[in-house]
Amino acid sequence: MPSAHGPRGPRRPTRPGPSPAPTGRRNRARPARNADKAPQPAAALKSGSDTPREGDRIAKLLARAGIASRRDIERMIAEGRIALDSEVLTTPATILTSLRGVTVDGKAVKEPSPARLFLFHKPAGLLTTAKDPAGRPTIYDRLPADLPRVMPVGRLDLNTEGLLLLTTDGELKRQLELPATGVERTYRARAFGEVSQAQLEDLIEGVEIEGMRYGRIDANLERRTGRNQWVEMTLTEGKNREVRRVLEHLGLKVSRLIRTRYGPFVLGDSQPGEVAEVRQVDLIKFRKTLGKDQK
């Protein structure tokens, strides 16, 4: 596998106490309302309280710890699978300063380790999912057994091959997937039909297809053999089946689709099924660029 970081890029005041009450009958301090209620634990502050927010939502912390995506964690909370100090949580808006005392399905959650990022050369014919009700093979059937628990960054269709990023950190996964982050993805498509470079250049302004708006796409005609051609496309949104739908809109039929780049990470000359890890120092450098201009 080539270098996992691509061409010379990343491979990952104290509050004053209450004044004493004046002496005298008229100024006798009244007992506070609801004095019999236990104070809210400092480790779990509910959204909407008057207490200044410190920490993060539990969904964010658990995603960062690699338990699941934020959306899946919200579903798990609704199912009553997550608890804090043996008390089942009922809202994903719970604010925590740490994961101490948190359990998922009765098992204690460890504090998150540093994020890890892997580059996987996904072969065609694998689903980007953990399980398939129809029993079709998934990426997890091809991943090495000694790999830590990882989540895919975005998806590649069943018949799409190429670079798929895998991470142990749910927050990093979310950052990489958000269109607002501006991380570019590059694809090479082999397609049958007729298309001109001028038509491809028009995609730089985006295109609307059946009510769906697709943003800026930098597309170039690489080479043509008869009515077959290779088209390279770079985009930042990565909507479902975006490349295929846009090319079909131009009258082309895609016969092969390969993702060759995601941000600074490239597929290179790796073989299908190969996995390489991004060096921690490179991952740290890359994360500092997220949210900035990715051009």
What would the pLDDT profile of 209-234 be if each residue is shown by its tens digit? 999 999 999 999 998 888 899 999 99
Over pLDDT 90: what percentage of the chain? 60
User: Which pTM does this prediction carry?
Assistant: 0.68
Catalytic residue at 293?
A: no
| Mean pLDDT along residues 133-160 | 94
| Mean pLDDT along residues 192-210 | 94
**First-to-last C-alpha distance (Å) of the chain:** 26
The catalytic position among 56, 72, 157, 202 is 157
Among candidates 105, 107, 95, which has minimal Cα distance to 41? 95
Residue 50 neighbours by CB under 8 Å, 6+ apart: none
Give the pLDDT confidence score for residue 86 in this predicted structure: 92
Confidence of residue 23 (pLDDT cuts 50, 70, 90): very low
| Mean pLDDT along residues 130-142 | 93
Q: Which domains does the chain have, with CATH numbers?
A: 44-108 (3.10.290.10), 117-174+270-287 (3.30.70.580), 184-262 (3.30.2350.10)
